[in-house]
Structure 1
Amino acid sequence: MFAMRMKLAPQIIKRESFKPIYIHGKRQGLTFALQLAYYRGHYLSDIDSLEVLIDGKKIPDEAVTFELNGKEMPLYKLKYAVTEFWRQDDLAQLHLLLPNGLSGQHEIGLKLMLRIPYMQIGPGHTFMPLDSGETITITLEGEKNE
């Protein structure tokens, strides 16, 4: 499938933003920031697909929440967020619940497909897809007392 690609920032996934999530004193996930790779911004309801992969394995949607402007929501609610606008220079946060957390070197993949609602293409009047994904390799520190 053809998708428009515009990478306006050097990083979509912000390497310096990775932090562990602790629940009851135990590492149970991680959070990181991401930036939209399109100059006009988008309503969250224009997100057609959002997936997070770690070492090629998809993290279940129910283990991922998306946060923007102080509002956190599960992935299935993004299509209903018709008034939440993600500007290109705003950082969103992804929060992943992962049993036992994550440490060491890993490949983090983000599949983020948006539809550009003002750009109709094709005979069926589908909308231009925008690929705002990225894959990086990152090394995460382990617990200090492990």
Structure 2
Amino acid sequence: MFDNFLIRKDSLENVYKDDKAIGFKFAVRIADYRGCFLSLHNGYYIECDGVEYPRELQKFEINGKVPRDFEEIKTCVWEHWNYDDEGYVYVEKEGGLTAGIHTIKLQQSVLATYGYMPWDEEWLKNPPVPGHGAGAGKTANICSFDLELQGRR
């Protein structure tokens, strides 16, 4: 629904720990017009410059809390991600990104919020892999963004 507005264009930055780049991050919005309970947020299909970064290399920051992996997020059943709230996706990548423009392909995975579906119980036990169709919610397509790395490099 809001696929082309998922990433804030000026938000791509490297993430540092002890002065060493350990990955990158970018700001995102939810593609659902009414938000969702955070436990339904299942991660992202992320490809940066032709390299795919699976959910296991991703963390998510929202609601003023530290970045959390999606195993922890699926337990956040009472925490809500509101429509207009911006979150950050963190991606582990040793050395971070180089200066310049990077192509990020992205698909958000938010599980159904419309009541029980036959696959819901299975998805709780074995969430679908983002980018492979199931669980795409309002982002039916993998979207492409060209973003320039901001901040220190």
TM-score range, shorter chain: 0.7 to 0.9
Structure 2 spans left out of the alignment, 5+ residues: 121-134
- Asked whether the 8 Å contact 2:10–2:147 carries over to 1, the reply is no
Letter in 2 for 1:93: Y
> How far apart in 2 are the matches of 1:90 and 1:44?
12
Please state which structure has a larger fraction of its residues in strand: 1
Structure 1 spans left out of the alignment, 5+ residues: 1-5
Task: Report how far residue 142 of structure 1 moved.
Answer: 8.8
Alignment equivalent of 1:135, drawn from 131, 134, 144: 144
1:114 aligned residue? 110
> How far apart in 1 are the matches of 2:9 and 2:28?
9
Alignment equivalent of 1:80, drawn from 67, 75, 79: 75
Task: Look up the SS of the partner of 2:114 in the other structure.
Answer: strand
> How far apart in 2 are the matches of 1:73 and 1:64?
8
Task: Report how far residue 102 of structure 1 moved.
Answer: 0.3
Alignment equivalent of 2:53, drawn from 59, 70, 74: 59
- Asked whether the 8 Å contact 1:50–1:112 carries over to 2, the reply is yes
> How far apart in 2 are the matches of 1:125 and 1:28?
36
Structure scoring higher RCO (CA < 8 A, sep ≥ 6) equals 2
| Compared CA separation, residues 140 and 35, structure 1 to 2 (3 A) | same
TM-score by length of 1: 0.76
The structure whose Rg is larger is: 1
TM-score by length of 2: 0.73
Task: Look up the SS of the partner of 2:56 in the other structure.
Answer: helix
Runs of 4+ more than 4 Å apart? 141-144
Task: Report how far residue 34 of structure 1 moved.
Answer: 0.2
| Compared CA separation, residues 51 and 17, structure 1 to 2 (3 A) | same
CA RMSD of aligned residues (A): 2.8
**Structure 2 matches for 1:1-146, cutoff 5 A?**
6-7=1-2, 11-71=5-65, 72-103=67-98, 104-119=100-115, 124=118, 130-132=137-139, 134-140=143-149
> How far apart in 1 are the matches of 2:119 and 2:52?
31
Worse-superposed segment, 31-40 or 106-115: 106-115
Task: Look up the SS of the partner of 2:146 in the other structure.
Answer: strand
Identity of aligned residues (%): 28
- In the comparison of the two structures, how many residue pairs are matched? 136
- Asked whether the 8 Å contact 1:66–1:94 carries over to 2, the reply is yes
